[in-house]
Structure formats: C-alpha cells, structure tokens
Structure 1
Amino acid sequence: MIKSLFLLLASLAIAGCTTANTDRAGKPPAVLTKQNVMGNMPARPLSLYDVAWDNFNHRGTVMWNCREILSGDIVSNSLCHGKPRNDLQWPGMGVPPSYRGAQIE
C-alpha cells in the first residue's frame, strides 16, 4: 500500500514537472536570448557607442572628460582609454550641459 502510494505521488510530481516546462499552448518555452532578456530590443554593438575626449574650463580648472558622441553626455573616462586627447569633436572651452561637477572614472 505504501509502495503504491509513493509511486502515485512520484508519478504526479513528474507529470507536474513536465507540464510546468510548457506554456498554455503546450509548446516548450522559448530559449532565452539577449534580445528576449532585453525586451526584444536589438543589442547595441559597442562599436556604435563612440566616445571622444572633450577639453573644457569649469570654474577656472581646465579638464578632460570623456563624452558620448551621439548624445554629448559625459560618460566614464575609462571608455575613452586609448583614444587621443584632442578636442576636435567639441571645440571650445564651454562646459557640457551634462557635466555635474565630478569626473566619472
């Protein structure tokens, strides 16, 4: 009696596990990809995330900060590693609008 009760419970548990891995239509769940995890948005290649150095004068201090070219926002200086420090992208010494008073390392 105990053996048959155990087999019944085990078979119900196995049946529950197999149906838990299917959706309501009876199909197995989709394989997770970067697009599925990111909300079906295409991944942005790193090569399109282009950055450049910007030289500006903030309250009498001349400094270099890394900025994203598309948005003009200041980003981590580590993203500009290996790029030449020239001010060709944003000439002039004006402070960028996104500058908040601290460098992002």
Structure 2
Amino acid sequence: MPPRWPRTPDRNDPAFRRLEDFINFALHAAIYLAVNSGLWFFQLLNHPWDNLSIVSGVWLLGLVSHGCYVFILADYRRIEAAAQGNWQQELATELEEDATVTPDEAPSSPEQP
C-alpha cells in the first residue's frame, strides 16, 4: 500500500516539500543506476563507447550536487515562514543572528605620557 499524505498536498508546506525533494532525488538516483548499469553492461559485451566514463562521471557529478542540495543546502524554514505569513520576521531574526558577531578585542590605544 503506497504512503498517503495526511492533508492536502501543497508545495508551500515544508514537510511536503522536503518529502517531494527526497523522492525526486531517489528517482534521480534510481534512473542513474539503471541507465548506467545498462550502458556499462553493453560496454562489456564488446560494444565500445569511448565517452561512456565521461557521461557517467558528469551524470554522477549532477547526482551528487542534487544530493547536496536536498540533504545539506535546502532551507525549509523559509518556506515554512512564508506559508505562515511571518517570513519578514524570520528574515529579520536571521539578519540579527548574522549581525551578532562576537567583537574582537578592541585595539589597545597607545599609552599617552
């Protein structure tokens, strides 16, 4: 039985967006594995293709970058804030957090006689 989403699917819902991005990555990985294993199988049957390693490498680079986006770079907090209507407050708090840098030691002023 396939999984069911408990509410109406909406791309603005951060949990749904995260799930959709993860499923898209899984589909991308499955297609990569299926196509490349087929191509390398035919390569082994003495049907040479000189650029197969380049094609596989470039596609693997695209798959790795897609995975980095899904698992590392995607920020679903902004989507959630936009869905709730308080994105401006979230952005302001992020800017405040970025601005609060620990001040370095103040340069010592030269002693005056």
Q: Determine which structure has greater relative contact order: mean sequence separation of CA pairs < 8 Å that are 6+ residues apart, divided by chain length.
A: 2
In our comparison, the structure showing a higher alpha carbon Rg is 1
More strand by share: 1
TM-score (structure 2 length as normaliser): 0.26
